[in-house]
Structure 1
Amino acid sequence: MFVKDCSKDDAAEALAALAPRIPQQHQRQTRANKGLASARSTGLDRATGRYSE
């Protein structure tokens, strides 16, 4: 799970470069940059599986 949080870095380009090597990746985009804790919460809210509970 990758959460793009509207930060002003090159994360979107890095994720685009990784996409062919990680086909099962899931990406989420937040509407505004609200910080690291918010991005983590966004990812965990949408994650499923044994290790996300």
Structure 2
Amino acid sequence: MKKLMTMTRQFRDDENGAAMVEYTVLLGIITAATIAMIILVGTWVTGQWT
């Protein structure tokens, strides 16, 4: 049990995990914005060609 508590404490104090989560959220936001722009531009281009 003591080993589990030690591992939990080390995981909590490790800042690499927090940075990885922040970068993952940022990547998700950038991906969503890119997809939205592709959809909007695609709709605009379709409107221009018809």
Q: Which structure ranks higher in relative contact order (CA pairs < 8 Å, sequence separation ≥ 6)? A: 1
Answer 1 or 2: which has greater strand percent: 1
TM-score by length of 1: 0.26
TM-score by length of 2: 0.28
Larger Rg: 2
